[in-house]
Structure 1
C-alpha cells in the first residue's frame, strides 16, 4: 500500500510539470479558436489552463463568460476533445428542457460519475425508471400532503425545535450559531419526516454531531469534483487504487448507504406490522409499488435527502443574509407577518405574497443549484445558432441568468422583491416570470415536483423566525460571504450569526 501511495504522489507531482510542458508546446505551435468570448483553447488540452486558473470561482467565471457573449452562450473546450456549451439564453434553455427534451438526457457520463452516491435515484437517471419514480413521487405533492406538511411537520419542527434554540441564543450576545448548519438540520428533519416517516432528531438543543451529515457532505463534495474533473483519468486511477479522495468517498458512501438501508428496513418492518397497503409517506409508496430491492430503494432515499435537505437550506441561508443587508425589505416582510395570526395554516402561508417575492429574488441572485447539464443525444443546432455534436454537453447557467441585464434590467444587482410584484386593488399581487428565464426549479418535463413544498417550508421558517428574532451576521465589517457550489450552493465556511429578540 505504501508503494502505491508513493507512486501516486510521484504521479501528481509530475502532472503539473507535464501540463506546463504541453502549454509551452501548444502556445508555440497551435492555437484553436473557440470564439471571441470563449477562453482560448489548444489542441489536446483545450482550455485547461484558464479552467484551472478559475477553478475556485468556476461559477462566477463562467457566468461572466456567458453574460459577455452576444448570444448568451459560449463553447468551452475541455481536454481530450470534451466540448461543453454553457448558456444563459432562455430560448436555448427552453429548447433543451422542453422543445427537444428527448435529445437532451442526463446522459451516461454524468450518471456514471455520480452513480456511487446517487445510483438509480430520480436525479441520476433517464427513461422509464425516471418516469416511474416521478409518477410515484408526484402523489406526495398533492394539496392534502402539502397541508399536512405545513400544519403538522414544519409547524412542529419550527415551534418545538428551531425557535427554542434561537430563543436560548438570544439570551446572550456571545452565542454565535452557524445558521447554515441549523437550517440544514431543520430541513433534514423535515424531509425525513415527510418522505420517510422517520424523525432523525438532528435539530436537537445540543446540536449533536451527525456522522451521516458529515459523510453526506463529503460524498457530495467529492462526487461534484468527479463531475467537474478535467482529467477523469486521475480520479479513476485513485478509485482503482482506493487512495486519496476516492478512498474517502468510499468510506463516506458506506455511511450514507447504511443510513438509507436502516431507514428502509424500519419502514418495511412498520408496513409488515400494520399489514396494510395504505401509503402515508413517499417511502411507503415506493415499497408498496412492488419495488422492494434494497439498493433501488436506498438510491431513492439518498436522492430525496439531497433535494430536501440541501436546496431549501441553501436558499434560506442566502435569504437571511440578504434580508439583513436590506432593512427596507425586512420591514415590508415584518409588515406582512403582522397581518397574519401567529399560528399559520396552509392558506395563510400561500397568501404571503411579499415574502414569496423576496424568496424568489434571493434565489435569483443565489440559486440553490447554479448550473445543470445535459448530454446531446444526436447532432443539433440550438436556437442561438450554436451547433452541438452527439456526445457533447449543454449546461444552462442559472446563476448567470439571474445576473443578466437583458433579463432583469440595469439594476439586476439590486435585491428588489418588487420586481416580482404589481400593485392590485387589495395590495401586492405576485407576478411570476417565464420558467425558462428563471429555471431555478428546472422546467419542462423535469420541473421540480417539490417546488410548492419548498416555498411553503421557506415561508414558514421566514415568518416564524422574523416574527420573533433578528438574525445578525457575526462577521467582520466589510466581509462578504462566498458563494460556493457542489451539487447545491453553500455559503463557504458557514453563516455565523447572533440572534436578537425582535421588538414589534
Structure 2
C-alpha cells in the first residue's frame, strides 16, 4: 500500500470520530457565542463555520473585518471544523483584558507551541510562565543598554550606506524594475544577523545571492506556519516523514547546525578578545556564562525572526502607501531635508512626521496581523463573551486598524496627522507625536509581552526612509488601480512581491509635480518588466 493511500485510509476511518466530536462540541458550546447582530455567518450543524472559512480563505482578514464590524461589541465566536473554538475580538477592552488584566489566564496554547516548536524551540516567543519571565528579564536588560542601541545604530547606518543605497543606485542607473519587498527582506536579514549573531550573511549584494541559511530559515517559518492550516494532517505527515514535514526537518536541521557553528565560533572569539569589543546579542548572552547552547540558540533564533520579517513587512507596505499619497511623501521630504545623509539617533528622534506616517501605515498593514492566546481557565470578557478553558482567544491589529468605532469615519484615509498635534515652538509651529492606547493599537503587542524591540524597529525603519527618500523617487511599476494582495503568515507580506523602479533625484527637485522621473521612464517597458518579475 502506498503512503498516500495509507494516509487517505487513515483520514477516512477518522471521519466518524470527527462527526461524534462535533456533535458534542456543537451541543455544549454553541450557546457561548457573544451577542451578535444580523448579517453574520451562521454555524452549520456538525461542520460549524467550515464552509464560510473555506470560501473566504483568500480574503480571510478582510472577511473577518466585515464580520467583527457587524458583531455587537466587535467580538464573534467561530467554530472551525477541527472543533477548536476561536473567539475573535477587535474590542479594546477585551484586548486589555487578554494582554494585561488577566494576562496569566491567556497563554501560548499547546496548538501554537507545538506548531512552532521545531523552529522556535523554547525561545521567548514560544514559552509561558517562569521560562518566559526569565527570558524576558534578561532580554529586557540587554535591550535597554545604551551600548546596544549604539551598536544597532551603527549596524543600520552601515547596511544602508554600504549595501542598500549602492544597490538602488545601480538599479536606478539601469532603470531596472526590482522587487522592493525582497530587497527590504535582504536588508533586514543582514541587519538582524549582525545585531543578533555578530554575523554578516551578505544577503543584500548586487548578485542577490541565495544564502543557504536565509533559505532554510524561510522554509522553516513558512512550513511551520502552514501547520496552522492543517492541525491534524501535519502530525500524520511528520509521523510518516513525508511531504512538507520531511522538508521542514531538513530546513530546521540546517538552521540549528548554522546556529551551533556560530555559537561555537563566537565562544572561541570571546576567549581571544575582551567581551566589551563584541556588542551583538549573542556575545552578551555568552559572556555571562549562565546559559547553555540550546537556550542561547532558541532565544537568538526568536529575535532573528522578529527583527527580520517585521521591519521588512512594515517598510514594504509603507512605501506602497507612500507611492499613492504624494502629499505625505512631500511632508516627509520636508522633514528630512535638514538632516544628515546618515541621520543619527538624535536626528531620528526628531523625525516626528515620519514616525506618524509609519504608525499610520502599520495601522492598515501591521507586520503581525493577528495574535492568539489559549484560555487556561473559564473566564468572561468585559463585553460579556463567555470563554471556556482551552478556547482560542484571538485579537487582530489588522481588523482593529479598520474599525470606525476606534478611528472614526475617516478610518479609510491614510492620514498621519491623526497621530500628531501642532505646538508652538521657538521657531514657530511644529508637530509633536501623540501616541495611541496600545490596546486600541496593539501592533507591538501590549501589557507584559509588549515588544522589546520597538525602539530598535523605529530606528531601523526611519533610517531606511530617510536614506532612500533623500536620494530616490521610488516609482510603483504596476498599473494604476492595482491593489496588492495582503498575505498573512507569521508576518504580513505582499503577494507576488512589490515591483518598483528607483529613480535617482536631488532632494530639492522631488517636491514639484508631476513626477520628476516620468520623462526618463517608459511606462510600458516598466510595466512589462514588473509583470515578468511577478
Using the size of structure 2 for normalisation, the TM-score is 0.87
Aligned partner of 1:417 in structure 2 is: 416
Once the two structures are overlaid, the 10-residue window that deviates more, 242-251 or 311-320, is: 242-251
* Structure 1 counterpart of 2:440: 437
Ranges in structure 2 where 5+ consecutive residues have no aligned partner: 509-534
The residue that corresponds to 2:368 in the other structure is 369
Indicate the residue corresponding to 2:486 in structure 1: 483
Confirm or deny: 8 A CA contact 2:84 2:391 kept in the other structure: yes
Counterpart for residue 95 of structure 1? 97
Query: Once the 2 structures are TM-superposed, how far is the Cα of residue 43 of structure 1 from its aligned partner?
Result: 4.1
Residue 78 (structure 1) shift: 2.0
CA distance in 2 between counterparts of 1:424 and 1:148 reads 30
Q: Which residue pairs with 1:206 in the alignment?
A: 207
Query: CA separation in 2, counterparts of 1:496 and 1:333?
Result: 22
- 1: CA distance, partners of 2:105 / 2:41: 27
Within 2, Cα distance between the matches of 1:277 and 1:454?
Answer: 24
Q: Report the secondary structure of 2:107's partner residue.
A: coil
Change (3 A) 1:325 1:43: same
After superposing on structure 2, the runs of 4+ consecutive aligned residues of structure 1 that deviate more than 4 Å are 9-12, 29-38, 275-279
Bigger mean CA deviation after superposition, 110-119 or 145-154: 145-154
Which residue among 135, 148, 157 is the counterpart of 2:150? 148
Q: Structure 1 residue 389: deviation in Å?
A: 0.5
- Residues 56 and 251 from structure 1, CA distance in 2 versus in 1: closer, same or farther, beyond 3 angstroms? farther
1:250 equivalent in structure 2: 249
The structure-2 alpha-carbon separation of the partners of 1:471 and 1:130, relative to structure 1 and needing over 3 Å to count, comes to: same
1:341-397, Cα deviation, whole Å (9 max, x unpaired):
323221001110000000000000000000101111111110010010011111111
Give the equivalent residue in structure 2 for 1:115.
117
Is residue 93–residue 396 contact of structure 1 (8 Å, CA) maintained in 2?
Answer: yes
Q: Aligned equivalents of 1:495 and 1:280: distance in 2?
A: 34
Cα deviation, 1:97-118, whole Å, max 9, x if unaligned, reads 1111111111222111111111
1:464 is aligned to: 467
Say whether the 8 Å CA contact 1:5–1:243 is kept in structure 2.
Answer: no
- Which is further off, 470-479 or 302-311? 470-479
Could you tell me which residue of structure 1 aligns to residue 453 of structure 2?
450
The reply on whether 1:498 has 2:501 as its aligned counterpart is yes
> 1:469 Cα shift?
0.2
Is 1:51 aligned with 2:50?
Answer: no
Alpha-carbon RMSD: 2.5
CA 1:277/1:423 → structure 2, altered by over 3 Å: closer, same or farther? closer
Q: Does the 8 A contact of 1:317 with 1:495 survive in 2?
A: yes
Contact kept, 8 Å, 2:471 with 2:505, in 1: the verdict is yes
- Sort the Cα spacing of 1:270 and 1:186 in 2 relative to 1 into closer, same or farther, 3 A: same
Hey, what does 1:392 align to over in structure 2? 391
Paired residues, what number?
Answer: 494
Cα shift at 1:251: 1.9
Partner secondary structure for residue 460 of structure 1? helix
SS in 1 for 2:73: coil
Residue 220 of structure 2: aligned partner: 219
Distance 1:228 1:388 in 2: 23
In structure 2, the partner of 1:189 is 190
In 1, Cα distance between equivalents of 2:498 and 2:102? 40
Distance in 2, matches of 1:149 and 1:324, equals 32
Greater shift after overlay, 176-185 or 256-265? 256-265
Query: Following TM superposition, by how much is the alpha carbon of 1:446 offset from its aligned partner in structure 2, in angstroms?
Result: 0.4
Name the CA distance, whole Å, in 1 between partners of 2:183 and 2:147.
25
> What is the CA–CA distance in structure 2 between the aligned matches of 1:286 and 1:143, rounded to whole Å?
13
Paired residues for 1:207-356 under 5 Å: 207-229=208-230, 232-274=231-273, 280-356=279-355
Shift of 1:330: 0.2
The answer on 1:180 being equivalent to 2:181 is yes
Q: Write out aligned runs for 1:26-105 (5 A).
A: 34=33, 35-36=36-37, 38-105=40-107
Alpha-carbon separation, structure 2, partners of 1:40 and 1:114: 31
Q: Secondary structure at the match of 1:425?
A: strand
Q: What is the alpha-carbon distance in structure 1 between the residues aligned to residue 106 and residue 278 of structure 2? A: 34
8 Å Cα contact 2:148/2:279 also seen in 1: no
What is the deviation of 1:143?
5.5
Query: How far apart, CA to CA, are the structure 2 residues paired with 1:32 and 1:494?
Result: 41
Alpha-carbon shift at residue 182 of structure 1 (Å): 0.8
Deviations 1:450-493 (A, max 9, x none): 00110011000000000000111222332211110111000111
Deviation, structure 1 residue 286: 2.1
Q: Report the 3-state secondary structure (helix = DSSP H, G, I; strand = E; otherwise coil) of the residue aligned with 1:81.
A: coil
Cα deviation code 1:109-156 (max 9, x no counterpart): 211111111110110001121122112212332362354145411111
CA change 1:473–1:258 in 2 (3 A) is: farther
Provide, for residues 281-305 of structure 1, a one-character-per-residue CA deviation record: whole Å limited to 9, x for no partner: 2112222343443332221121111
- 8 Å CA contact 1:215–1:256 kept in 2: the answer is yes
Of residues 131-140 and 31-40 in structure 1, the stretch that sits farther from structure 2 once superposed is 31-40
Question: Distance between the aligned counterparts of 2:470 and 2:54, measured in 1?
Answer: 45
The alignment status of 1:164 with 2:159, answered yes or no, reads no
SS of equivalent to 1:79: coil
Given that 1:191 and 1:305 are in contact with CA atoms closer than 8 Å, whether structure 2 keeps it comes out as: yes
Shift of the alpha carbon at 1:317? Answer: 0.2
Kept in 1: contact 2:106–2:374 (CA 8 A): yes
Whole-angstrom CA distance in 2 between matches of 1:228 and 1:396: 18
